[in-house]
Each structure stands twice: as C-alpha cells, then as structure tokens.
Amino acid sequence: MMKRRAFVAAVPAAGLAGSAAAAPSTPRVNTKMHVGGDYHVVAGGKNTEMTTRRNLEYNLRHGIRHLTVKVLKNDATGAWDRGLLAWMRDNCDRAGVKMEAIRMPATYINQRTAADQERELDIVVRNVERAAEVGVEVITYHWTLIPIRRNKETPGRGGSFYKAFTLENDWKSLPVERSGRVSHAEYWERIEKFLKRVIPVAAQFKVKMACHPYDPPGLPFGYQGADNWDSPDVFAAIKRYEAIVESPWNGFQVCLGTIAEGLERPAAGVAPIVQYLGERGKIHQVHMRNIKGKLHDFQEVYPDEGVMNFFGITRILRDTGFSLSICPDHLPHHPDDPEGTEAFAYGYGYIQALIQGVNAELQRG
C-alpha cells in the first residue's frame, strides 16, 4: 500500500486548547492514518455500485486507497451477498485499493418486537462473518430511529448552500416518525442487546464495530417520538455506550461535525472527546466535517471555515496512534456539482494536507 509523507513546511503548527497535557511526551510520525473515501460521493451517482472502474479511478485520482462501501445486494437470508462482496473486494484489489470498511444499515434499531430484533441480529452476525471473509476491518453504523435532522439551507461561498438546523420552537408538534414512540430506557435496551450479541462475534472475527453518534445529538426527548441515545449529553452517552461491552472491537465512527453539533462550545469541547477515545483505541473511523454554530443551531460548512481546529485534532489522532481512515463528510453543495465530486475532491486534499502537515512538523530539522 502506498504511503505518502510529503513534507509540507508551510502548514502552521497550530495549537489546540486542552490537548497538550494528555499528549505523549514524545510524539511520533504516524504513517498509518490515511484519507478515506466512502458512500457519500460515488462517481456515477450514490446508488451506483462503488467498486466500478469509474468510481475507483475517481478515488485514486484524489489519493484515496481505502474505501468504506455499501453493499447493494443481500442474499435470501437478508445478509450481504457473498458473491457481490468477493467481486467488490477483487475489483478493489486489482486497482490497488483496500476495501477497508462497510456501512451497515440501521434496520435493527427500528425493530419493535423481540422476534424481529433477533432476526435482524442474526443477519448482523452473518454480516460480520462475511465482512471478515473478504478482509474488511471495520463495520460502521448509525442508529437512526428518526432520520438525520436538517430543516433549512443557508447561502455559502461561491454560490454554494449549507445544510443547517435550528431547533424548532414548536418541535413538540412535529409528526412522530415511523419507528413510533421510543423511550430512552427502551432505546438503551436495544443498544445493550445489540452490543452483547454482536461484539463477541466481532472480536472472534476481528472486525471493528464503529458507531456513529445520532446526528444531531442533544435533541429534546420526544423529538419526533424518539429519546435519542446521545441526548442530552453526547460525551456522557459515548462513555455509556462503550462501557456496555468493554472491548477494542466496540468503538466509534467519530464524526467530528456531529459531535460538535451536540456541544454548547464545540471549539473547545470536541478535542477532549477525540483524546478520550483515541487513548482507548476506540476510534475506528473519523468523519471530518466542520460546522458554524453550536447545540441546536448550526450549519455545515467547508472544513477550513468552521469552529474546529482540524490541524490540532489531527495531531491528537497522530499521537494516539490512529491507523484507519479520515473521511470527508457532508460538504456544501452547488448546482454545478450535482454529485458532490468537486466538493469531496477538496475535502480529500484538505485531509491529506493535514496528515502530511502534522507529520512534517516532527520531521523538521
């Protein structure tokens, strides 16, 4: 696998409040962390199979050699189709790309009866085994009892548009989503059942399970019928989630933008969460999305114009030994870029520069 360690002398050694005290006394160059591509943008359209020549070449042109894919076909049991998985893996291998992760759908968490939950857990267990068969290291997932919530757009630079959210004054009048009313206790019961059944299997097959926090965190209990697991305190919820089954295979897809959306002071509050999880080896993938705003009032912006210091956060990833993908996520959109390939090309380069920059500062002199 190609490693890129180009020297970037122009990148400033920006500091990050709250990170220095917990960092190792002797930081080391980290050549294992890398920029990754995923299902948010697929050359040819989001519903296109991700390991086509067109999409693989799009990713390779922008320095991407690690993919998080979606599997678009199941077999008669409901599990991922073995033939398709092998075909996708082989396509990646021929192109010199690693099929590093698979995105798992959120079907399980929406099941109301014990029988339906058990059926879906059986499918998840088979999927973990099948992922391991083709060399996949990570399965990511995002529990969405209610869909990801945005309720407006704001104008951005160059004629682009930013998706945004402001908590509605009348949120209690919003319709309940199809999952129905789910209390906090019931939500956590479903999570506990999932983790206790799946994580031992993941450990057996050496597949890391990576939970994405619900987006956005901190919604009031009862919002569209759900008491979301990462409300009211996203950091406390993350700690509770990992403690249910303490295992290196039970970790997180750390979406920096999502976590920021759940904090009153995201500029200062995200780094300690990254530090906490990084020190414990619980970061199995990173989504690098920036925002302007805070809890209950934010917009998703380009990575260079938001409230977070991504150079400092990448330092934490370097110093805690993170070795997997950092992926762009939820970039602004523009009518001249309907598939988002231009926006994500910018995101890929931005992340690659961050990785090179934090390593270059240790190589100077």
Confidence class of residue 46 from pLDDT cuts 50, 70 and 90? Answer: confident
Confidence class of residue 365 from pLDDT cuts 50, 70 and 90? Answer: low
Could you tell me which residues are beta bridge partners of residue 79? none
Could you tell me which residues are beta bridge partners of residue 168? none
Q: Answer for the pair 100, 324: CB distance below 8 angstroms, yes or no.
A: yes
* Mean pLDDT calculated for residue range 250-266: 99
- 18-27, 46-55, 58-67, 224-233, range with the lowest pLDDT: 18-27
| CA 283/CA 293 separation, integer angstroms | 25
Instruction: Inform me whether the pLDDT recorded for 243 exceeds 90.
Output: yes
Write out the two tokens for 275: 């530090």
**Given strand 98-103, what is the order of strands in its sheet?**
34-35, 325-328, 283-288, 250-255, 208-212, 138-142, 98-103, 66-69
What φ, ψ does residue 273 adopt, rounded to 5°?
-70, -45
Instruction: Inform me whether the pLDDT recorded for 6 exceeds 60.
Output: no
| Closest CA relative to residue 130, chosen from 88, 96, 191, 94 | 88
Angle at 19 between CA 5 and CA 274, to 5 degrees: 75
Instruction: Inform me whether the pLDDT recorded for 30 exceeds 50.
Output: yes
pLDDT given for residue 47 in this prediction:
86
Q: Answer for the pair 69, 103: CB distance below 8 angstroms, yes or no.
A: yes
* Mean pLDDT calculated for residue range 128-156: 98
Confidence class of residue 251 from pLDDT cuts 50, 70 and 90? Answer: very high
Confidence class of residue 364 from pLDDT cuts 50, 70 and 90? Answer: confident
What φ, ψ does residue 162 adopt, rounded to 5°?
-110, 125
Q: Enumerate domains of the chain plus CATH numbers.
A: 34-363 (3.20.20.150)
| CA 272/CA 269 separation, integer angstroms | 6
Write out the two tokens for 35: 């920029």
| CA 56/CA 42 separation, integer angstroms | 9
Share of the chain above pLDDT 90, in %: 91
Instruction: Inform me whether the pLDDT recorded for 26 exceeds 80.
Output: no
Confidence class of residue 19 from pLDDT cuts 50, 70 and 90? Answer: very low
pLDDT given for residue 297 in this prediction:
99
pLDDT given for residue 120 in this prediction:
98
Distance of CA 321 to the CA centre of its chain: 18
Write out the two tokens for 10: 């122009």
pLDDT given for residue 15 in this prediction:
36
What φ, ψ does residue 18 adopt, rounded to 5°?
90, -5
Residue with the bigger pLDDT between 47 and 342: it is 342
Instruction: Inform me whether the pLDDT recorded for 154 exceeds 60.
Output: yes
Strand 161-166 to strand 297-301: parallel, antiparallel, or no bridges (unpaired)? antiparallel
| CA 219/CA 343 separation, integer angstroms | 29
56-77 confidence digits (pLDDT tens): 999 999 999 999 999 999 999 9
| CA 121/CA 194 separation, integer angstroms | 7
| CA 100/CA 323 separation, integer angstroms | 12
Instruction: Inform me whether the pLDDT recorded for 2 exceeds 90.
Output: no
pLDDT given for residue 14 in this prediction:
36
Confidence class of residue 4 from pLDDT cuts 50, 70 and 90? Answer: very low
| Closest CA relative to residue 282, chosen from 310, 323, 314, 332 | 323
Confidence class of residue 11 from pLDDT cuts 50, 70 and 90? Answer: very low
What φ, ψ does residue 34 adopt, rounded to 5°?
-155, 160
| Closest CA relative to residue 314, chosen from 266, 353, 363, 264 | 353
Share of the chain above pLDDT 70, in %: 93
pLDDT given for residue 5 in this prediction:
35
Q: What is the pTM of this model?
A: 0.92
Secondary-structure percent of the chain, ordered helix, strand, coil, rounded to 5 = 40, 20, 45
Three-state SS sequence of 99-121? EEEEECCCCHHHCCCHHHHHHHH
The mean pLDDT of the chain is: 93
| Closest CA relative to residue 162, chosen from 303, 19, 27 | 303
3-state secondary structure of 280: coil
3-state secondary structure of 37: strand
193-225 confidence digits (pLDDT tens): 999 999 999 999 999 999 999 999 999 999 999
76-124 confidence digits (pLDDT tens): 999 999 999 999 999 999 999 999 999 999 999 999 999 999 999 999 9
